[in-house]
Amino acid sequence: MGEGAICAPCLASPPRHDGIAAGTLYNDASRRLVLAFKYGRRIALAPMLARLITARLPGMDGDWLIVPVPLHRMRLWQRGFNQAALLGRELEKGGGGRLQVDVLRRRKRTPPLGGLGRKARARVLQGAIEVNPAWRTRLKGSKVLLVDDVLTSGATSEACVSALKRAGAERVVIACFARVLDEALDTTH
């Protein structure tokens, strides 16, 4: 899509975010990369995935905060890393802003969202993500680059964007490696 273009889902239901920068569409190839990165512990993929995101970022004038989508502390402990934070670190190295890993927190443990539809994901995430109290006043008027590996239904990013905007963030742009677009999926098999 060209700069300033609006996708069909956003036309149908206008989002609260201020844009999406996706490195690629979610397909078989990007799925394999995400699974290797996230579950196969191939964290050395982070620089390449972040370069693909960076190529899609809009002009980011002024000071931006790079905020990864948070994991619950138990999931972080089990996995050993937050893949969104690793991508955020690489985006920071590329000059995309200042990484702040503690802005958002996942206050309740949620089950994996894979296989759930949009409404079910939103229900699971209700009240799960909040702004860290130490950041509540510091977010007023800020510009935030919200980072995640995959944007699926938008339920997780919507929960994050809502929390950030309630705390006073002026702009929130979502940056992800891969984006699921139903209209782009091959439905022949």
How many distinct structural domains can be found in the chain? 1
pLDDT of residue 42: 96
pLDDT at residue 8 is higher than 80: no
pLDDT at residue 173 is higher than 80: yes
Amino acid sitting at position 78: Q
Q: What is the pTM of this model?
A: 0.87
Q: Is residue 23 situated within a structural domain?
A: yes
Q: Is residue 189 situated within a structural domain?
A: no
Q: Is residue 10 situated within a structural domain?
A: no
Q: What tokens appear for 151 in the block? A: 């944007």
DSSP letter for each residue of 148-159: EEEESSSHHHHH
Q: Is residue 2 situated within a structural domain?
A: no
pLDDT at residue 27 is higher than 90: yes
CATH of the domain at 53: 3.40.50
Q: What is the pLDDT of residues 39-61, one digit of tens each?
A: 999 999 999 999 999 999 988 77
CA distance 187 to 189: 6
pLDDT of residue 188: 40
Q: Is residue 166 situated within a structural domain?
A: yes
Confidence class for position 14, pLDDT limits 50, 70, 90: low
Q: Is residue 5 situated within a structural domain?
A: no
Pick the range with the lowest mean pLDDT from 23-32, 76-85, 135-144, 178-187: 178-187
CA distance 178 to 131: 25
> Is the pLDDT higher at 182 or at 21?
21
pLDDT of residue 152: 86
pLDDT at residue 136 is higher than 70: yes
Amino acid sitting at position 128: A
Question: Could you tell me the residue range of the domain that residue 138 belongs to?
Answer: 15-182
Q: Is residue 3 situated within a structural domain?
A: no
CA distance 73 to 81: 10
CA distance 135 to 157: 18
CA distance 87 to 84: 5
- Average pLDDT, whole number, for the chain? 88
Coil, helix or strand for 11?
A: helix
Coil, helix or strand for 129?
A: strand
Highest mean pLDDT among 62-66, 111-115, 164-168: 164-168
Q: What tokens appear for 109 in the block? A: 């443990």
Decide: 130 and 163 in contact? Cβ < 8 Å.
Answer: yes
pLDDT of residue 112: 74
